[in-house]
Amino acid sequence: MCFAVLLFQHPEQWDQHAGHTMPAASGPDPYSLLLHHAAGAMVILLGIFTFLEKSELGRQRWVHYSWPVALMLQGTITMLFSESGQLFPFSWERWLPSHVSVQHKIFATVAIALGLIELFRRTGRLQNRAWPHVLNAMMIGAGVYLLMHQGHSTPHIHTQHLWMGAEIIAIGAVKAVTDYQGGSGWVRAYLLPALFLALGLQLALYVE
């Protein structure tokens, strides 16, 4: 669901994203903060859409498709702009300046894939009952990957990302349990949106 979500760049003590050295004394990276906060707003929207799906508005088509579309949009933004706000003229050195940036692109790919799978499920093109479990496994895997994500320059930044990874794993686990049980009780209606909200707020309030 929202894994790429966090998968925005993490300014390092030595700026690996831009491919050049940047002393830690330069302070927080405004571009990185902007991306984290924007990702937080998108995840909060995902939480709202998750809640609305179990409400009376869940019958509306725009609610039905808003969740996967928002996730694909988030993944696309991460894919294109996680390392730099400048896309053109295109440069591989700017788009993939380090091994950390490769991780960001993997995160973005997972988010886009998750959105596509969910969109095709909702349009009826993927009808096999195994697809929700594939989706949940990818979400949990993305959370575990985030726990191992390199590039955290300070213990404070590292701790924030550990919490984010744990929250993504929790989202995937809760969704897996509710999908397996086939129910739509309070866990799916309230706990799942609350986990999205917690993740989104952490991103929106992210500091370096």
> pLDDT-based confidence at 12, cuts 50/70/90?
very low
Which one has a higher pLDDT value, 12 or 196?
196
What average pLDDT is seen over the chain?
Answer: 76
Distance between the two ends of the chain, CA-based, in angstroms?
25
What kind and span of H or E run contains 170? helix 155-181
Cα angle for residues 93, 94, 100 (degrees, 5° grid): 85
Which one has a higher pLDDT value, 160 or 27?
160
pLDDT of residue 37 exceeding 80, the answer is yes
> pLDDT-based confidence at 183, cuts 50/70/90?
low
pLDDT of residue 16 exceeding 60, the answer is no
Residue bearing tokens 């927080």: 28
Task: Provide the whole-model pTM.
Answer: 0.72
CA 186 → CA 61, 63, 102, 172, 183, distances in Å? Answer: 23, 19, 38, 16, 9
Q: What is the pLDDT of residue 92?
A: 72
Q: How large is the average pLDDT for residues 196-207?
A: 89
> pLDDT-based confidence at 118, cuts 50/70/90?
confident
What confidence tens digit (pLDDT) does each residue in 98-117 have?
A: 766 777 787 788 888 888 98
**Signed CA dihedral, 131, 180, 139, 192: sign only:** positive
> pLDDT-based confidence at 7, cuts 50/70/90?
very low
Percent of the chain exceeding pLDDT 70 equals 77
